[in-house]
Structure 1
């Protein structure tokens, strides 16, 4: 009976897929073993199932040795990447060593700026430190002067604003005082008029009639 040719696509049925995987995995491992024996070839085979289970075969009893050999002999594959990785590691080590030396130098220089560890410093180094400190002091004084000038300007602006507000308040107080005086004068004039009207009213009439 002639077997039908299977279409090369993913098997959707889980059970059928697992059965096919088991059968073909065994056949593949058998073919790899036969190739290594018949042809005296170094063969390594690595298989991961859909569940992540590992199946491997190596004619040298160690898959890693075959992989390492492949990496060493590969010209345009992983071998070049491994070589590049090694060169990058060496470059990073050199940069790290240079940075460590620079950090050590800066820490020593900082201690000297603070007045420590000056015993081994030469006259030239001391002169350089002195110039650096003087330059730093000049910059500090200039920065301090700018800050003080800004603060003085800000205080002057606040003073002008307060003076304007005070002038406005004084004007309002003056207006209120004038308004009160005007009301007081008006009230006094009304009282005088009322008194005059009363006296006039009392004076009208014949004598002796009251």
Structure 2
């Protein structure tokens, strides 16, 4: 039977990596808000009484796509998936309540990682200025410090990986998305995963949790 899995966690908790592995392990669709938006950017939303008639228009104007539009896109993506791992949605309580109206979850998993560990993970990323390959000073360092293994280009820290920017991203997450975690915890649906182990340890714990559902 196909599974419906929600993966929650702060930026840097490893949701993207673990979602992809989980989707492959159980033969599920990996549904992310970003991918769903890109796949449906020309969807006709003129009937929704929004500022623009397509998601693309919001994206090209550099504006946030409204919740109502994101909800509709996620609904479309989930309806087309036999089973799924949902990653990056819901981001707030309204979206969580909408999600419960359109689908039933088999598991809501939360990757629990403390803030200082998240900051270390996010500020440690280095990107090649030439080819864009990503490294991490601790978890996947280049053979030679500051030099890209792939092309020999200079490795740089992106502006959005600076400590100030990372802490602001986390502040926004705690303000908006922590209540979503609490929502599933109060409903007795949340499975808490220790996200501070190695990627393999975390994955094994996730698989055990899904198998138990």
TM range (shorter): under 0.3
Choose between structure 1 and 2: higher strand proportion: 2
Quick check: which has more Rg, 1 or 2?
Answer: 1
User: Taking structure 1 as the reference length, what is the TM-score of the superposition?
Assistant: 0.21
User: Taking structure 2 as the reference length, what is the TM-score of the superposition?
Assistant: 0.21
